[in-house]
Every structure is written in structure tokens, then in C-alpha cells.
């Protein structure tokens, strides 16, 4: 079913965006700790 596949792709894309944003925040927080 192509519609179901589209939904899955959309959810995966959103999950990847959220994951990369959270990861970026974590990395920036680590850098702030190191630079202080």
C-alpha cells in the first residue's frame, strides 16, 4: 500500500529531524561544559 509507505516515510523523516536537533543540542551543551 503506497499511502501507508508515504506515512511511514513521513514519520521517519520527522523522527530523524527531531533526533538530529536533540543530538545537536546535546553536543552544544557538551561544548559549553568543555569551554567553561
pLDDT tens, position by position, 24-36: 999 999 999 999 8
Terminal-residue alpha carbon distance, the chain: 53
Q: With a threshold of 0.85, does the pTM exceed it?
A: no
Tell me the C-alpha to C-alpha distance, in Å, between residue 24 and each of 5, 12, 20. 28, 18, 6
Q: Which residue has the cell 553536543?
A: 27
Band the pLDDT of 15: cuts 50, 70, 90.
very high
Distance between CA 27 and CA 32 in Å, rounded? 9
Amino acid at each position: 500500500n503506497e499511502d501507508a509507505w508515504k506515512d511511514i516515510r513521513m514519520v521517519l523523516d520527522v523522527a530523524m529531524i527531531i533526533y538530529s536537533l536533540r543530538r545537536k543540542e546535546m553536543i552544544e551543551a557538551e561544548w559549553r561544559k568543555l569551554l567553561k
